[in-house]
Amino acid sequence: AEPESFAIHVTEGNDNGPPRVFVVGADSRGAMFGVGRLLRALHWEDGGIKLDAAFRVAAAPEYPARGHELGYRARANSYDAWSSEQFDQYIREQIVFGTNCVQNIPFEDTRESKLMKLSRPEMNRAIGEICARYDVDYWVWTPVEFSLTDQAARQAELQRHEEFYQSTPRLDAVFVPGGDPGDNPPELVLPFMEDLAGLLARHHPQAKVWLSLQYFDEPKVQVVMDYLAREQPDWFGGIVADTSALPIGETRRRLPQRYPVRWYPDITHTVECQFPVSWWDPAFAVTLGREPTNPRPTAYASIFRRFAPHTDGFATYSDGINDDVNKAVWSMLGWDSQQDVREMLTQYARFHFGADVAEEAADGLLGLENNWQGSLATNASVDGVLALWQQLEADHPELLKNWRFLQHLLRAYYDA
């Protein structure tokens, strides 16, 4: 059986006993993801849980890396206000949809958020503990924001990294972006990464150091590719494909085959970003800005199917909970890229809102995406989408305590 795979089946009870549901994993992660898939299928209500007796699933992930960035820093629209318990719950909820990786931002953005319940070092360690507890990979994004010709600053940064490596119980990868922020040439970045790898090996021997090509022009890209082809370093994990000038397919073609390509797609922003909303009415664009509640399941399914085959998976860029639907969709596409979009939304709504509203809520989420298609003045869906969400609001007042329901209800009212 493939790693992380699982099977779920229902058997008739023995001696007139109750039926039994079996979740069988190829490994511990497989069992965990199998439980998550079962939770997405259950019809639960107060006092009872139901499951179709014919329910059968056997699944293995199409892509080995399926992660999301949950960076604890002041710039986030949500994460900086969370406790470690809220991080724990949110990570569990991502696992339900198939996530196996969390990426944190331990250093960048030195501003102190007044909302933070823990210091950056305390939460960095807490996230590592959560990942260790649930056996999900722990990645960190660590830009170099100073000139690597400054030897004092370089040594101080190495020391900061080692202190973090020593403090966290789990660490699987350190990701150094070529830029944004940072403006060092690869001739300086690569030796610095090698020094990081030496420190990393002392505390997390299996972890690797990864690089993105962001802000590197073609001569700089060639320096990286020549170095990797010539040296073939064991400490190097692979290339993270983001918004660099080199297309993702070309990155895969030029990179030595032994190294994977991991995608870093932006699923949180709507304008001035990697995947802006197409034909977005200016009335939305100038008032909602970059980070509104933005379910875009159909668009992102198309984008995923176009680019993901060049990669070994992804860790999405996110600055908060505005993209919560998108995270679930990406995680599920990482298991099966050809899944039906509406079925994924139905599973999301069934788990988070309840089976009795799953179908209508899935249509409501699709409707919010349709509201953003073309001219608002001639978009005939907006009023109907609001009516759908208003009906859910009236029929299920208990959902007014559910933040996921509220943020999408708010979008429906706002669009109208």
pLDDT tens by residue, 359-406: 999 999 999 999 999 999 999 999 999 999 999 999 999 999 999 999
CB 297 within 8 A of CB 388: no
**Residues 352, 92: Cα–Cα separation, whole Å:** 13
| Four-point Cα dihedral 39, 45, 50, 51, nearest 10 | -30
Burial environment of residue 393 by CB neighbours within 10 A (0 to 12, 13 to 18, 19 or more): middle
How many CB atoms are closer than 10 A to CB 412? 23
pLDDT surpasses 80 at 16: no
Q: What is the pLDDT of residues 233-266, one digit of tens each?
A: 999 999 999 988 899 999 999 999 999 999 999 9
Residue 45's pLDDT is 83
pTM across the whole model = 0.97
How far is 11 from 134, CA to CA, in rounded Å? 28
Report the alpha-carbon distance of residue 91 to residue 127 in Å, rounded: 9
How far apart (Å, rounded) are the C-alpha atoms in residues 217 and 222? 9
In 93-207, DSSP assigns E strands to 101-104, 137-141, 173-176
CB atoms within 10 A of CB 252: 19
**Average pLDDT value over all residues in the chain:** 96
Q: Give the pLDDT confidence score for residue 223 in this predicted structure.
A: 97
**pLDDT tens digits for range 195-213:** 999 999 999 999 999 999 9
Number of C-alpha atoms within 13 angstroms, CB side, residue 200?
23
Measured CA to CA, the distance from residue 275 to residue 308 in angstroms comes to: 14
Helix, strand, or coil (residue 68): strand
The percent of residues in the chain predicted with pLDDT above 90, rounded, is: 95
- pLDDT score, position 275: 96
Average pLDDT over residues 95-115: 96
Average pLDDT on 229-234 reads: 98
Residue 15 clears pLDDT 90, i.e. is over it: no
Contact (CB, 8 A) for 178 and 211: yes
* pLDDT tens-place string over residues 322-368: 999 999 999 999 999 999 999 999 999 999 999 999 999 999 999 99
Give the residue among 195, 198, 196 at the shortest CA–CA distance from 174: 196
E strands within 264-352? Answer: 313-316
13 has pLDDT over 80: no
Token readout for 60 is 């293995």
Residue 69's pLDDT band, with cuts at 50, 70 and 90, is very high
Residue 201: Cβ within 10 Å count: 16
- Residue 65 forms beta bridges with which residues? 313
Nearest to 368 by CA among 333, 324, 415, 318: 415
pLDDT at 273 over 90: yes
Torsions phi, psi for 171 (to 5 deg): -160, 125
Under DSSP, the state recorded for 317 is B
Region class of 289: left (phi > 0), else alpha (psi between -120 and 50), else beta: left
Q: How far is 410 from 394, CA to CA, in rounded Å?
A: 14
Cβ-count burial of 282 within 10 angstroms (0-12 exposed, 13-18 middle, 19+ buried)?
A: exposed
Beta bridge partners of 173: 139, 208
Tokens of 95: 């696992």
Structure tokens at 63: 């892509």
For residue 129, pLDDT over 90 is answered with yes
Query: Which pLDDT score is estimated for 243?
Result: 86
Residue 320 burial (C-beta neighbours within 10 Å; 0-12, 13-18, 19+): middle
| Range 192-198, long-range pairs (CB < 8 A, 24+ positions) | 192/144, 192/148, 192/154, 193/235, 193/236, 194/233, 194/235, 195/158, 196/158, 196/161, 197/233, 197/235, 197/236, 198/235
Cα separation, 9 vs 326, whole angstroms:
29
| Average pLDDT for 184-197 | 98
pLDDT at 121: 97
**Cα pseudo-dihedral 401, 406, 409, 411, rounded to 10:** 170
Q: End-to-end alpha-carbon separation of the chain, Å?
A: 50
The predicted-structure confidence for 149-160, as pLDDT tens digits, reads as follows 999 999 999 999
Q: Nearest Cα to 68, choosing from 346, 263, 273?
A: 263
The pLDDT assigned to 17 comes to 82
Contact 61, 335 (CB under 8 A): yes
- Tokens 């699944």 label which residue? 59
**Rounded Cα distance, 314 and 46, in Å:** 37
pLDDT at 18: 84
pLDDT the model gives residue 47: 87
Neighbour count for residue 141 (Cβ, 10 Å) = 23
